[in-house]
Structure 1
Amino acid sequence: MLNSVIVVDDEASIRTAVEQWLSLSGFSVQLFARGEDCLARLPRDFPGVVLSDVRMPGLSGMQLLERLRQLDPDLPVILLTGHGDVPMAVEAMRNGAYDFLEKPFTPQHLMGSLGRALEKRQLVLENRRLHEQADLKAQLESTLLGMSQGLQQLRRQVLELASLPVNVLIRGETGSGKERVARCLHDFGPRADKPFVALNCAAIPESLFEAELFGHESGAFTGAQGKRIGKLEYANGGTLFLDEIESMPLAQQAKLLRVIQEHKLERLGANQSIEVDLRIIAATKPDLLQEARAGRFREDLAYRLNVAELRLAPLRERREDIPLLFEHFARASAERLGRNASPVSGAQLAHLLAHDWPGNVRELANAAERHALGLDAPTLAAAPQTHSLAGQMEAFEAQCLRAALRQHKGEIKGVMETLQLPRRTLNEKMQRHGLVREDFLGD
């Protein structure tokens, strides 16, 4: 909260008086008798001001100022000085102190200085937040590629959900990138430095599922040699990604529900509960609630997993992203193989846009690798054009607009000249395709 003040003074009477003044004015106050204690307890991006005496045993106010500026050069530090310390305080301001107050000072003088310092701190923290958001947005754009409206909305949702402590259900067809989205939810959130554990529920035999999920003690069952940590416990503090969650056996669904509710688990063969703190991200192709109505999935677990839902559109519903994705995968494959990336011809682009991509992004990546190898892709050439000519033309138009915007780094005049379009027509087309010039600045 931006009304926080840390007071550091070895005199208890000063600490008590300042705390009373500030508390009555609505400030949140922390008191320390030593500078060392302040440094040990100072949180990152502290949303407030440090008020410190100059002369203290141990770490002096001047030394504390220096240490605080090493941790955060923008943290406002106000020094409290005796009459003989004024020259020292002036020198401290040259070294980065925000202000100094000569004792004895009035509450009004103190409140005025604190108010100005807190306003400055608020601006600094807001500026940092905006820069961090811009950095995260740029990183996410390079991870979840695409400029379609659906992809732009997905990236916004991922950034919003990444920082929230809620379970997320991701729905999408095979190959649509569900694990990549799950990984982004983890990497762009507060659990990023903790484990990300992925488990494909369809790939585990039912007889081994419980041991894989919960772990086991030595001798828990025939063949259980030694203790084994399960996926739930291994993900403690981080994220557990359960792919194809609809394939999880019903018996294990009940046990998973209990872990979610109680934040505890028991290994097979153990009597002691283990506390776990984890976020669960599940992925599914079918609708879990429909699966529950058919008796194949627990409805209560479906609701627990689906606190928030992300739907990944199949590639055929966002054809305007196909050229960008294909170019990215082809270039990455060519670099990996030590080859020069071959340009995509107009005929090849038409085939790419005409194909329905039942395998979605995974299939497209495979086709791009074949292209990088110089191999033909007969499945694409023979692909039936089952969608409308209008749809193909829309996708091609979006690609032309995007290429021109990238070429001119978002400069509208250059785009107008290249595409020979009047400003109003260009604006209408960009709006229809969800293109914003700011997304191409500096590309």
Structure 2
Amino acid sequence: MSQSDTVDPLSSQITKKASKTSSSQNGTSGKSVLVVDDDRGLLQLIEMRLQAEGYQVHCAESGEQALDMLEQISPAAVISDLKMDGMDGLALLEKIHQVRPVLPVIILTAHGSIPDAVLAAQKGVFAFLTKPINKQELFSSLEQACKINGNEQEEQSTWCDSIITRSAKMFELMEQAQLVANSDVSVLVLGESGTGKELVAEAIHNSSPRCEGPFVPINCGAIPAELLESELFGYRKGAFTGATKDYDGLFVQSNGGTLFLDEIGDMPMSLQVKLLRVLQEEKVRPLGSGQQISVNLRVIAATHQKLEQSIADGKFREDLYYRLNVVSLQLPPLSERKEDIPLLINHFLKNIANKTDKPLKKFATEAMKLAMQYHWPGNIRQLQNLVEKTVALCPGQVISETLVANSLPTQSQQVSPLTEAKQHFEKDYVKHLLKLTDGNIPEAAEIAGRNRSDFYKIVKRHGIDVDRYKFSSDES
């Protein structure tokens, strides 16, 4: 089947015009994308949105038609609906990879389920997005897919190689991180414990003009206050009992590079004052010294705590907060990027095999489904721990569902406290209203039976980005 049989001539003209006017602005370089959906209305909606971003869009209304078109065109990526009459999205994915193994395929579905996501991940889907389609998540995933298929992998910097993801949310966050990296401003990385805040901080350092300098991490919550002070600021011989020689603290050691202050919320108030002074004056005075040392470094801080609440409780200085929080990056918990779970599990399995020089083990399909169903309160750190534990206990090459189940906390341990459960419900409820109203705060507040001011406070308390919902489209 020829391309002219499947693409409206007017649509082709619009595509050419859009690619000329938009590709230079959006960095898409007019790359070709094949979109497959048996819902003509949604197909046209996606086509228009991608054209506005400068992509050359080819449309197919079935998997069979898409395969015919692939004999005529060479798209940088494919976007396909999951549930279609005849050949569904997963069958299409399998057929595509038989002839074009490296062509990225993004699956869209309104019927997303854990088995679907697991199966898609095992078949090599690039991203698995649910309807209503979030415009920014789609664009972010598509941009990454086009880079991979555009033979640009060797040209890309290795600045974020340690971030293992196919999540649209993470792609968007890493794009923000790369922009921030070039500005040399202070960054506050927020997220639950175990989400990979240090990896993001190091990626920012690697992408910054300071990448040739040192990256020095320290966990402010893991060191007693008196030791933390000497570790950060250094000391001179005789400054205190046991100070038998001069020691350059971490500020001096980070000179020319980046100092990463993990769990900054646990830093004692007395040290917060000293930290603020160093940030303002760019000078540090070691303990027992009368002289200051000039330092030129970037500070990236991170915490799992709500620092606004710590300020209200008198446990964190407001002036230091604003000094550190020039730009903030919020890492999603693993429960919000479940498409990454198979990817992370396989990454950990390969690492273990390489370190132990033993054959690679794998998760059984049912074991992978169980991992996808679990909520992972300890996030990636907990997932890594489980993989290491199950590998050690597995006598064969396939890790079973039973072994994974026995390695997870019991059901009684998984029950959240009432306060936490209420918070999760409230956050999910507000997100649902914002989806229904396309991010319209007054309309959402009216549905919730709250005044606009109170509703906005709830949105702010949960750190919900209203703009994300303004770009969501309704299911067709």
- Segments of 5+ residues of structure 1 without an aligned counterpart are 1-130, 392-430, 433-443
The CA deviation at 1:383 is 5.5
Counterpart in the other structure of 2:425: none
Whether 1:362 aligns to 2:362 is: no
Question: Is this contact kept in 2: 1:334–1:372, CA < 8 A?
Answer: no
Question: Is this contact kept in 2: 1:196–1:235, CA < 8 A?
Answer: yes
Distance across 2 between alignment mates of 1:231 and 1:148: 34
- Segments of 5+ residues of structure 2 without an aligned counterpart are 1-149, 395-402, 416-420, 422-427, 429-470
Letter in 2 for 1:229: D
Counterpart in the other structure of 1:296: 315
Question: Is this contact kept in 1: 2:182–2:208, CA < 8 A?
Answer: yes
* 1:210/1:133 CA distance change after superposition, 3 Å: farther
Counterpart in the other structure of 2:123: none
Percent identical? 42
Counterpart in the other structure of 1:163: 182
Query: Whose relative contact order is higher, 1 or 2, with alpha carbons under 8 Å and at least 6 apart?
Result: 2
* 1:251/1:381 CA distance change after superposition, 3 Å: closer
The CA deviation at 1:371 is 3.8
Distance across 2 between alignment mates of 1:273 and 1:211: 15
Counterpart in the other structure of 2:251: 232
Whether 1:341 aligns to 2:363 is: no
* 1:278/1:135 CA distance change after superposition, 3 Å: farther
Distance across 2 between alignment mates of 1:205 and 1:217: 19
Counterpart in the other structure of 1:380: 408
Question: Is this contact kept in 1: 2:262–2:303, CA < 8 A?
Answer: yes
Counterpart in the other structure of 1:180: 199
Counterpart in the other structure of 1:114: none
The CA deviation at 1:132 is 13
Question: Is this contact kept in 1: 2:235–2:248, CA < 8 A?
Answer: yes
Q: Deviations along 1:192-232, whole A, 9 cap, x unmatched?
A: 11111111111221222221111111112232222111111
Letter in 2 for 1:230: G
* 1:141/1:190 CA distance change after superposition, 3 Å: closer
Letter in 1 for 2:341: I
Distance across 2 between alignment mates of 1:302 and 1:219: 34
Letter in 2 for 1:310: L
Counterpart in the other structure of 1:196: 215
Distance across 1 between alignment mates of 2:165 and 2:272: 35
SS of residue in 1 equivalent to 2:274: helix
Distance across 1 between alignment mates of 2:409 and 2:265: 35
Relative to structure 2, which stretch is displaced further, 250-259 or 216-225?
Answer: 216-225
Q: Residue 244 of structure 1: which of 256, 263, 273 is its match?
A: 263
TM-score normalised per structure 1 = 0.55
Letter in 2 for 1:334: A
Cα-Cα RMSD = 2.7
Question: Is this contact kept in 2: 1:352–1:380, CA < 8 A?
Answer: no
SS of residue in 1 equivalent to 2:158: helix
SS of residue in 2 equivalent to 1:194: coil
Q: Which has the larger radius of gyration?
A: 1
Distance across 2 between alignment mates of 1:245 and 1:146: 26
Distance across 2 between alignment mates of 1:381 and 1:230: 41
The CA deviation at 1:141 is 5.6
Q: Residue 142 of structure 1: which of 150, 158, 161 is its match?
A: 161
Letter in 1 for 2:327: A
* 1:136/1:231 CA distance change after superposition, 3 Å: farther
The CA deviation at 1:143 is 1.9
Report the number of matched residues. 260
SS of residue in 1 equivalent to 2:165: coil
Distance across 2 between alignment mates of 1:136 and 1:306: 32
Question: Is this contact kept in 2: 1:341–1:372, CA < 8 A?
Answer: no
SS of residue in 2 equivalent to 1:202: coil
TM-score normalised per structure 2 = 0.51
Distance across 2 between alignment mates of 1:299 and 1:268: 25
Counterpart in the other structure of 1:419: none
Whether 1:327 aligns to 2:346 is: yes
Letter in 1 for 2:309: Q
The CA deviation at 1:283 is 0.8
* 1:138/1:196 CA distance change after superposition, 3 Å: closer
Distance across 1 between alignment mates of 2:408 and 2:244: 50
